[in-house]
Structure 1
Amino acid sequence: MGDFDVVVGAGSLRDGGGGVSFPHRWTAEGVSVDAAFTGAHLLHLAAAGCVLNDVYREAERLGMSIRGVRVTASGGFDPDSWQSTGISYAVDIDSAAAPDAVDILLDVVDSVAEIPKAIRAGGTVERVS
């Protein structure tokens, strides 16, 4: 996708390979995370992790059964300023739900996911002493 890819997965779409695993509120086996440990990757990981969590949360709210979720997030940075050139993400969902229902779920998640909303809105970051 881009220069700073991250992949998070849970349930049937969890990667059991070389990534790191974290406990997860929505799945017993946890979440797999495949990402390098750089600031750029961590920014993208925050967006991907939020989307993954919100898929589970919103699916439960909508009464939709989810077997697994995988989110890949990526983006680049301007080499002079290190300003983000934007973040793109793709979501794979393993569910018996109809494709139209999954599309509705993804639209809802895109509108409510807190970290992507915060990144889209921008904000200040400052060091305090």
Structure 2
Amino acid sequence: MDERFAVVASAGSFLKKDGDDVRLPHQWTPGGVGVRSAFTGGHVLNLAVAACVLNDLYREAEAGGVELRGVRVRAEGGFDTSRWKSSGISYAVEVDSDAPQALIAALIATVDEVAEIPRALRQGAAVTRSAG
């Protein structure tokens, strides 16, 4: 059976003023980042993708001189719960900016290539337990 785990990371104009989002400090956004997620392994794995993409959108936008008013990243993935095998993670990005749409699309494409957590997951990673 495939169980889905969805998370949302938001910053800037997409931050909710009320609600259940957990707020975390963020170097590129004065209001921090709002995270909407349950606390399970599946959610935390997907949150790593959403948080990395959000962070890298701000980093790459700053480097390219693009002003972002807000970013929201929703990441969702599933697991075959009989074996706890991931069925993959997908993410969607919303950007609030006055920059031309073509520039925002190029920014999102760049981040899809350079974001560290998605890159690592796409290549596979060994996970081992250490003695302590």
Equivalent runs, 1:10-49 vs 2, <5 Å: 10-16=11-17, 17-49=19-51
Residue segments in structure 2 that go unaligned for 5+ positions in a row: none
Letter in 2 for 1:12: S
Query: Whole-Å Cα distance in 2 between the matches of residues 76 and 3 of structure 1?
Result: 4
Richer in strand (by share)? 2
Which SS does the other structure have where 1:5 is aligned?
Answer: strand
Partner in structure 1 of residue 66 of structure 2: 64
CA distance in 2, matches of 1:53, 1:47: 10
**Inter-partner Cα distance in structure 2 for 1:60 and 1:92:** 17
Q: Match for residue 3 of structure 1?
A: 4
> Following TM superposition, by how much is the alpha carbon of 1:15 offset from its aligned partner in structure 2, in angstroms?
2.3
Aligned-partner Cα distance in 2 for 1:123–1:34: 26
- Amino acid corresponding to residue 128 of structure 2 in structure 1: E
Unaligned runs of 5+ in 1: none
User: After the TM superposition, which parts of structure 1 deviate over 2 Å for at least 4 consecutive aligned residues?
Assistant: none
Scaled by the length of structure 1, what TM-score is found? 0.96
> CA deviation digits over 1:39-98, x for unaligned, max 9?
000000000000000000000111100000000000100122111100000000000001
Q: Name the Cα RMSD after superposition.
A: 0.9
Alpha-carbon separation, structure 1, partners of 2:34 and 2:16: 6
The TM-score normalised by the length of structure 2 is 0.94
For 1:80, give the aligned amino acid: S
Q: CA deviation at 1:12?
A: 0.5
Secondary structure, aligned partner of 2:73: strand
